[in-house]
Amino acid sequence: MKKEKKIYEDLTPIQDKAKKTLILVGIVFILLVFFFWKIQILDHKKFWRQSEANRIREIILPPQRGLIKDRNGIILATNIASFQVSIIRENCQDIEQSYQKISRLLGLELPVLRERIEKYKFLPMFQPIVIMDNLKLEEVSRVKARQSEFPELIIQSEPKRKYLYETFAAHVIGYLQEISQKEINQSIPKRRPGDLVGKTGIEREYESLLVGKEGRVLEIADSLGRRRGEISREESVPGQNIGLTLDFALQSRAEELLEGREGTVVALDPRTGEILVLASSPTFDPNKFISRFSPEEWLNLLRDPEYPLENRAIRGLYAPGSIFKLTLALGALDSQVVNEWKTYYCTGSTRIYGHPFSCWFKGGHGSVNLYNAIKYSCNVYFYQVGKLMGIEEIARYARMLGLGALTGIDLPGEKEGLVPDPDWKRRVRNEPWYPGETISVSIGQGPLQVTPLQIATSTARIANRGEGVTPYLFKRKKSDRTESARAEIPESIFNKVITGMWKSVNEGGTGRAAKVQGFDVCGKTGSTQVVSKATAEKLGQDDKIVKTHSWYTGFAPRDNPEIVITILLEYGGMGGATAAPLAREIFRLYRDNHDR
């Protein structure tokens, strides 16, 4: 039998192919595992944010800021609809290319655009940064029409502050400006970069009441930013409206009278401390602060030689001049240095401590008692009184009347002023006090410095026969007001000084230009030298330097007073010639508006 031959098939090529396939599948599998590991482990935050950005978007609903009104309900600050455009840097394919395209689209200079974004570069890439606000409707339409080309841009609506009467009471109301990083860190509740906050005035003082509470909307959006639905909504809460004590008619008239001048007008109710007028000139339009300033624009405003941003009523420091003679008279009578009938003879000048001291009236006032010394504002009389009192007593009575201290008004930035004495001079200048300096302080000169508001509150204390008031602007309930301590001077002494003030206005004294028929105005004028007479002669080519500051302060009526008015005009000349006539206009308007 023939033996059969066994036949074997060669599977080597197939096995080689299988091995290669297996290796390839293994490599692909490893790559897939690595790829998914990278996505889910290394890059999960990035893709989670992108996913959420394509699905859920948080929209902030800015609250309506509280209205600001005058004492009669006239709206001074309100809100209007506005639009802003923001950039989400995470949605930029090429950030530099986006800057170029956005600059052309919005007509925004490239350096300005870069600066605004660079300011908030520390924020997460997915958080919007405001690059332009107060958009016009055509600008909004332009961005919306090209939304598919600019997925990095979003349009948001916001309420915009509007000051209806532009410069009216600008220093009182204040203005809004973009929040700083320091303010963000300190803010409670937390504020966001780009928010506008009160920087001065009532806007700053009552920011927490005015701002309200922002709302939030969570909505579904596609990759092009189109809204596809809403998940949740929390409505914003409007801020609290604030009523001021300002009287629109009186404030308007005061600002008209100050136009073209540098100075301030303060009027208050001595019974309550309510501020009726607080005008400072030059002024500014707070609406301009709503748009974000460039650094150059801001510096130009700060460098303006007329200082329009400065509230002269609470921050201007001036020598009070002859206004201070009221303080000296009260102190001299109370300390019994003189009585009201004690006379001194004025020839137009006198020598004290071997040095000449002049009266403003070169011809002299003759023999004057306290009443006529106030009426005619005789320097020589008060030189003698000041010499007898001494600087320590003068300073004590000045502080008793509220000078050299904050009044407590509800506005930020108030200055204290200065009541000098020997301790102050040793501490600050390391020098002794010289007797001749007391003579200068006796007529409100020397290092003595006050604010116009301090003079107004001091005058209110005189009008009230010693009772002090704390001035305020936010019209609150009586129980919320802060009382001021009474000056420990008898009412009879206040009445004697008030008699002199009444004579000054109604019997042909230096304050006669403030007289209003039937209103029984009492007042005192003042003029303060900016430089000494000798220096003024050397600088005689400069009219502004040679001139003096002009003061008037007073109240009406004499009994049961209702209004105090204090006026300071820088470089205004004699108080009786410039400040007193302005006071008359405001006294008259107040009388007419109160049916007298």
Mean pLDDT, the chain, rounded, equals 86
| Dihedral over alpha carbons 434, 438, 444, 448 (to 10 degrees) | 50
Least confident window among 63-67, 184-188, 385-389, 588-592? 184-188
For residue 231, give the 3-state DSSP assignment: strand
Instruction: List % helix, strand, coil for the chain (3-state, nearest 5).
Output: 40, 20, 40
pLDDT at 168: 97
pLDDT at 410 over 90: yes
Average pLDDT over residues 365-382: 96
Average pLDDT over residues 188-200: 78
Fold of the domain built from segment(s) 248-593? Beta-lactamase (3.40.710)
pLDDT at 565 over 50: yes
Strongest mean pLDDT among 34-43, 173-182, 287-296, 398-407: 398-407
* Predicted confidence band of residue 44 (pLDDT cuts 50, 70, 90): low
Using an 8 Å Cβ cutoff, are 444 and 322 in contact?
A: yes
Residue ranges of alpha helices (H) inside 242-324 are 248-258, 295-302, 312-315
CA distances from residue 114 to 93, 118, 121, 145 in whole angstroms, order as listed:
17, 6, 10, 24
Pick from 205, 210, 183: nearest CA to 79: 210
pLDDT at 329: 97
| Higher-pLDDT residue of 225, 28 | 28
Average pLDDT over residues 492-519: 96
pLDDT at 453 over 70: yes
Residues whose CB falls within 8 Å of the CB of residue 587, separated by 6 or more in sequence, listed in order: 514, 516, 519, 521, 556, 563, 565
Question: 110-145, pLDDT tens digit by residue?
Answer: 888 888 888 777 777 767 778 887 788 888 888 888
pLDDT at 405: 96
pLDDT at 539: 43
* Predicted confidence band of residue 534 (pLDDT cuts 50, 70, 90): very low
| Higher-pLDDT residue of 292, 20 | 20
pLDDT at 7 over 60: no
Residues in the chain: 596
pLDDT at 300 over 80: no
pLDDT at 437: 95
Segments making up each domain of the chain, as ranges: 56-113+128-243, 248-593
pLDDT at 557 over 80: yes
Question: 420-447, pLDDT tens digit by residue?
Answer: 999 999 999 999 999 999 999 999 999 9
Fold of the domain built from segment(s) 56-113+128-243? Penicillin-binding protein 2a (Domain 2) (3.90.1310)
Give 395-401 contacts, CB < 8 A, sequence gap 24+: 395/419, 395/420, 395/421, 396/331, 397/327, 397/328, 397/330, 397/331, 397/334, 397/335, 398/324, 398/327, 398/331, 398/448, 400/487, 400/488, 400/489, 401/327, 401/330, 401/458, 401/461, 401/462, 401/487
